[in-house]
Structure 1
């Protein structure tokens, strides 16, 4: 009896271990309305991060430092954090389980997160420029940044349109809020 009980426990433990080792086995598959909510939440978070480096006193300081040829190393830590956050957001988004009809929308989210990470990567490279960097060094990176920003803007617009289209096709009402109003 002891041997049978011990064997049953070992088999049970083995089965539990096997179940745990399968990545995302039994992952919760969001219903379409909940998936869209998650998708939009990640989009909003991304936009807030982008705006912090595009339209804020910090952004003004960063762009002024570039224009005047100042040392950009003071921005490195914060840019590295947002770049790492964008990369992590994309990795986390890959794990979002969704229904088949949300495949296209999901791919647009992943593409947008990747283009955001790419843009912040170039900004980190700018902040890595050595003191006394040359105009050629900055110009090359600024050109790459301009292209990456344009691509990101396009990807974000495509994602926004895909969210609207998905909501319409699934008869989900999207609500928007003007953040300028209290």
Structure 2
């Protein structure tokens, strides 16, 4: 079990034994939302990508008859890890930089699995990050030692990177064309569910 003292037993003791009501916390509210994907797909992703790490193997996964090999990725990649991530340790996410043959910019965020990613720019932010190109790198600790810790969110760097890779923003195409008609207006019904 991953981090049982902080992720399981704390709640058991404080909610059940002490009868305390949890303090409202926006990130935990967001975290309580389910994956919203079919069970079979969720199971497939957990087994193939996480438990067996087949995406890292040449042609390790076949989808719709097409083998996937990340070595064939040529599109620039922005990869992110979090220092205290207990689910996807950052050195594991860093290994992506040596698997693809594309330019890779890597951001390492302080904090854990959720707060390392959900990390909007805010002057009051307690978080920090390291960022830089890491194409073909194999030693995450050496990469980290060569980069300077920066205060705040990595999102600003990501937005600049997107602008350079993708060009100027443009209006989205209209929805509901052809055989795929729009079910409802944006933002959809999902955001209103409780």
TM-score normalised by length of structure 2: 0.23
TM-score normalised by length of structure 1: 0.24
Q: Whose radius of gyration is greater, 1 or 2?
A: 1
